A and B are shown apart, each in its own frame.
Chain A
Amino acid sequence: MNILTLVVQYWPRLIAGLGLTIQITIISLILAGILGMVFGLLSVSKRKTLRAIALVYVDIVRGTPLLVQAFFIYFGIPMALGIQLDPVVSGVITLSLNAGGYLAEIVRGGIESISKGQMEAARSLGLPYGMAMRSVILPQAIRTMTPALINQCIITLKDTSLLSVISVTELTQTGRLIIANNYRSFEVWLIVAVMYFVIIMILSKISKRIERKMSYGKSKN
């Protein structure tokens, strides 16, 4: 049995695994985007307590391994509360909180990269803080943030593979289950690796295109 027949034989399961990987990635990134925006904005606030809240969150995310976070949310918290959590739900929560922490740092960095004069100019015209942030600072910050944002998307996509340890049947776990049947480690891991690779290459290409589109002014006039 060569590798192609293996691909054909397990294609439906592999695609289902990849599908779950992509779904978990997208949902986690949407939730992480909200968390990242909220905590990123908190971290540039004038108020000390708000900055402290953001700092604690980011420190916890960065100071603990993702795998430990996944175990804590899937096994730890349900044990303490006497409940059961679905593996996929736990996985999404873990990845959202994790990516949210990193995105918060990216958002903070992006906002801080914009010169202080921009906020002052906007405020001196009478714009409230929120409006100035939304219309003047963030549109500029997002441009500087774009490469880091896309990088985080790719990292989160790859991090879904860690959810195999809490028995989420995403792509990696699917690979493990197939190998448990047929013992064809080399071929199956190769197929799984290629599938990740192709998806991530497509993402990278799209991101390059977005980056190019976002450089303003130069193409006009």
Chain B
Amino acid sequence: MGKVKIKNLKKSFGDLEVLKDINLEVKEQEVICIIGASGSGKSTLLRCINALEDASSGTVEVDGNDITRADGNINKYRQDIGMVFQQFNLFPHMTVLKNISFAPVALKLKTKAEAEETALKLLRRVDLEEKANVYPEQLSGGQQQRVAIARALAMNPDVMLFDEPTSALDPEMVGEVLNVMKQLAKDGMTMIVVTHEMGFAREVADRVIFIDEGFIVEEGPPSEIFGNPKNQRTINFLNKVL
């Protein structure tokens, strides 16, 4: 059974139709990379999966729950869907440790002591243990993004969404974030990653999805999409970015 099941998803902003009938199924432990030009709708698709954008029509099921008809349950559903943003969006008024432990405590899923213990474990995992009591503004972009990943993991999510996680980073910091994501993929996390890092997609993705003008134009294993693309639009796009 699919972890994430998207059926006939459409999304418009006013007159602008950004997603025009998206169908996608993501299996447990699968790593999906979504590629495409800016404005193709790939970020919107990702944001529909945890209802940061409301779908105009269609359904988005995560773990069998329809996110588009969540009503009062949306907060509960979102707890199982981790999200990492391009701009990190760490909470600047909280220390690194508090950033990670805050939500589980506020939602009464863990005691403060438990949450902080988990937070320290996660910080060790992203190799930032010594930064626990520091404020985000004192960290580099790459470090902030690794903390953001730890913060999302603190909710123990079933799926992780990454919205261009390395696009706002200086080039020398991209590697450290991608390494954390690779490790996460290896550990069996179900991941949907919107990215411009073709190298990462090629190496880590189980399946690559190319989106253009609101449609999934082509999908397949990276070897096929990058090695032998069939659709002319995919070929044009890859020629531009590779």
**How many residues in A have their beta carbons less than 8 Å from beta carbons of B?**
23
Write out the residue numbers on chain B whose beta carbons fall within 8 Å of the beta carbon of A120.
Answer: 52, 83, 85, 89
Write out the residue numbers on chain A whose beta carbons fall within 8 Å of the beta carbon of B90.
Answer: 121
Q: Are B78 and A125 in contact (CB under 8 A)?
A: yes
Q: Report whether over half of chain A's contact residues are helix, strand or loop; otherwise say mixed.
A: helix
Q: Is A207 an interface residue (CB 8 A)?
A: no
In the assembled complex, the Cα of A122 lies from the Cα of B94 at a distance in Å of 13
Q: Are B75 and A127 in contact (CB under 8 A)?
A: yes
CB closest residue in chain B, given A217: B135
How many of chain B's residues touch chain A, expressed as a range? 20 to 34
Q: Is B188 an interface residue (CB 8 A)?
A: no
Q: Are A128 and B75 in contact (CB under 8 A)?
A: yes
Interface mask (B38-82 → A, CB under 8 Å = 1, otherwise 0):
000000000000101000000000000000000000011111011
Q: Report whether over half of chain B's contact residues are helix, strand or loop; otherwise say mixed.
A: mixed
Interface mask (B118-153 → A, CB under 8 Å = 1, otherwise 0):
000000000000000111111000000000100110
Q: Are B78 and A124 in contact (CB under 8 A)?
A: yes
Option from B83, B93, B137 in Cβ contact (under 8 Å) with A140: B93
Q: Is A123 an interface residue (CB 8 A)?
A: yes
Q: How far is the CB of B169 from chain A (nearest CB, A)?
A: 15
Q: Is B235 an interface residue (CB 8 A)?
A: no
Interface mask (A7-27 → B, CB under 8 Å = 1, otherwise 0):
000000000000000000000
- Using a CB–CB cutoff of 8 Å, the interface residues on chain A facing chain B are 115, 117-118, 120-128, 131, 135-136, 139-140, 143, 216-218, 220-221
The 9 closest A-B pairs by CB, nearest first: A217-B135, A126-B79, A121-B89, A117-B89, A124-B83, A125-B103, A126-B78, A126-B75, A128-B75
